[in-house]
Homo-oligomer: A and B are copies of this chain.
Amino acid sequence: MSQGNTDVTTEVSPVRQCETPAAQAACSVLEVLGRVSGKWSIGILLVTTQGPARFTELERQVKGISRRMLTLTLRNLERDGLLTRTVYPTVPPKVEYTATPMARELYDSLLALTGWAERHLHEIDRARADYDGAAAPEAVRTPALAG
């Protein structure tokens, strides 16, 4: 996300499959996912979309994040134009991060995914249990219960 410059903007994208028209959609999604991926981007986007937030405030609200990753993720979001960073040169430094309109739009789009997730969460869990139950039952063969 930071130490290695993935250089998405300049050269060939990680997926060459953007040739067919239908696959262009996939590439766009991949672009978005690239920006929003990382454990913390969405959490930060969420908080800052509710209103301006300070650094320490974010550190508390996005629970579990380290200072390092908070900084890095904030920098990347700022770089992508999803956050604006406002510095108040007061005696105790004060920095506020705010989501841009573009970020709010993104969050709206993410709600579509949220809807899908909520609708199918149980279905997915069932599918997983089904798959795992059918694949792993080497030692747990207790036919007494099954019959």
Category for how many chain A residues contact B:
35 or more
A80–B116 touching, CB < 8 Å: no
Q: Is A87 an interface residue (CB 8 A)?
A: no
B117–A31 touching, CB < 8 Å: yes
Instruction: Point out the residue from B32, B43, B110, B130 that lies within 8 Å of A117, measured CB to CB.
Output: B32
Q: Is A86 an interface residue (CB 8 A)?
A: no
Instruction: Point out the residue from B15, B46, B79, B129 that lies within 8 Å of A64, measured CB to CB.
Output: B15
A2 CB to closest chain B CB (Å) equals 13
A133 CB to closest chain B CB (Å) equals 11
Closest chain B residue to A17, Cβ basis: B63
A77 CB to closest chain B CB (Å) equals 10
B14–A62 touching, CB < 8 Å: no
Q: Is A25 an interface residue (CB 8 A)?
A: yes
A79 CB to closest chain B CB (Å) equals 4
B29–A62 touching, CB < 8 Å: no
Contacts of A31 in B (CB 8 A): 117, 121
Give the contact stretch, choosing among A34-42, A66-74, A89-97, A138-146: A34-42
Contacts of A15 in B (CB 8 A): 39, 43, 63-64
- Contact pattern, A 23-34, Cβ under 8 Å of B = 1, otherwise 0: 101101111110
11 additional A-B pairs beyond A33-B36, A81-B131, beta carbons within 8 Å, are A9-B128, A14-B39, A23-B43, A25-B46, A26-B42, A28-B121, A30-B39, A33-B33, A79-B128, A81-B130, A105-B119
